[in-house]
Amino acid sequence: MRGEDRMSDEMTTNSEGGGEAVTAGGRATPDAAEGVHPSVSALRDSFGDAVLRHEVVAGDEHVVFVGEENSFEILRWLRDEPDHLYNFLSDVTAVDYGEGRPIQVVYQLYSIPHRHALRVKVELPVSDLEIDSVVPLWQCANWLEREVYDMFGVNFRGHPDLRRILMPANYAEGHPLRKDFPLRGRFSRAEQTRRALAQEPEDHYVGTDFGPGRDPQVVPWPEIGGEPVPVRSPDSAEDES
């Protein structure tokens, strides 16, 4: 069902089979010239219908669409299978086409031993932006997934430290790279200025600054002989005398 929806949302040309490799930009591999990719056919053999579709874009770049439910399994297989060994994760990002269309999470894989590149895409409906984190497979996904979470609001299940990375931790205007986010932000300039001026030093620390096993609400700088100083929380602002 979901696969059908995705097919109707197809944006790019050259869908499966019709991979007319137009060599452009000066980089082409022999595989690409025939419109086949060794990993794609192997993926189809191993996972069957889990590979939703295959496209060739920009002449020689192969894109594989997989479902969210088995994306982790497929990526692990691509990383570990000796014939493929996509050990280098170049990039994790997302694309929002707007108008309520699904948000694509994009993995740019590269195999250093075999010199193959492959792009894996997972389409997520805007109402349910959740996907398995690939940090257990590639550690570099840590910050890249945090950026996707920050900018698009995609939740990565099992991510060790999923919090905003470029925007401030208490940023309240949403996820900036979504198409429904206006260029100047959701709040008025006056409100943005007011919030910027109301920042406290404690706002720039987050729970994980203080280490596992510690209460994230407590700053770990005990006053000599005194009790730890609690962090100002939004609720306690009125209580302060």
Partner 1 sequence: MSRRSVEYEVKQRPELGVDFRPLDGGPPAGVSAEPLLDSENMLINLGPQHPATHGVLRLVLELDGETVVRCIPHIGYLHSSFEKLGEYRTWNQIVTLTDRMDYLAPLIYNCAYVMAVEKMMGVEVTERCKVTRVIMMELDRIFSHLLWLGTWAIDVGAFTPFLYSFQEREKVYRLHEAYTGARITTSATRVGGMMADLPQGWAEGVREFAVGVIETLDEVEALLSTHAIHLGRTQDVGVISAEDAINCGFSGPNLRASGVPYDLRKDRPYYDYETYDFEVPIGENGDCYDRYLVRMEEMRQSVRILHQALDRLPDGPMDVDDPRVVLPTKTDLMNDMASMIHHFKLVMEGVKAPPGESYFAVEGSKGELGMYVVSAGGSKPIRWRVRPPSFVNLSVIPKLVEGGLLADVIMVNASLDIVLGEIDR
Question: How big is the chain by its Cα radius of gyration, in Å?
Answer: 22
| 32: enclosing H helix or E strand | helix 30-33
Would you count residue 189 as binding partner 1 (CB under 8 A)?
A: no
Contacts of 207 (CB under 8 A, 6+ apart): 216, 217
Sign of the Cα torsion 36, 39, 43, 45 reads positive
* Number of residues this chain uses to bind partner 1 (CB under 8 A): 55
Would you count residue 15 as binding partner 1 (CB under 8 A)?
A: no
Helices (H) then strands (E): counts for the chain? 6, 7
Would you count residue 73 as binding partner 1 (CB under 8 A)?
A: no
Transcribe 137-177 into DSSP letters.
Answer: T-TTHHHHHHHHHHHH--EEET-TT---SSS-TT--S--TT
Separation between Cα atoms, residue 59 and residue 31, nearest integer Å: 11
Would you count residue 187 as binding partner 1 (CB under 8 A)?
A: no
Nearest distance from C-beta of residue 241 to partner 1, angstroms: 28
- State the greatest distance between any 2 C-alpha atoms of the chain, in Å, as a whole number: 75
Nearest distance from C-beta of residue 45 to partner 1, angstroms: 25
Among 120, 144, 154, 162, binds partner 1 (CB under 8 A): 144
| Amino acid symbol at 113 | P
Among 139, 170, 217, 233, binds partner 1 (CB under 8 A): 139
Is residue 67 a contact partner of residue 46, using CB atoms and an 8 Å limit? no
Among 209, 215, 229, 230, binds partner 1 (CB under 8 A): 209
- Segment 32-51, which members bind partner 1 (CB under 8 A)? none
Nearest distance from C-beta of residue 95 to partner 1, angstroms: 5
| 65: enclosing H helix or E strand | strand 61-66
Shorter beta-carbon distance to partner 1: residue 115 or 189? 115
Q: Using alpha carbons, select from 7, 110, 105, 104 the residue that is nearest to residue 52.
A: 7
| Amino acid symbol at 241 | S
| Amino acid symbol at 104 | Q
Shorter beta-carbon distance to partner 1: residue 69 or 204? 204
Shorter beta-carbon distance to partner 1: residue 1 or 163? 163
Among 193, 199, 208, 217, binds partner 1 (CB under 8 A): 208
Among 3, 33, 80, 97, binds partner 1 (CB under 8 A): 97
Among 24, 33, 172, 237, binds partner 1 (CB under 8 A): 24
Positions touching partner 1 (CB under 8 A) are 11-13, 22, 24-27, 57-59, 61, 87-91, 93, 95-98, 106, 108, 112, 115, 117, 119, 138-144, 147, 151, 164-168, 176-177, 181, 183, 204-205, 208-211, 220-222
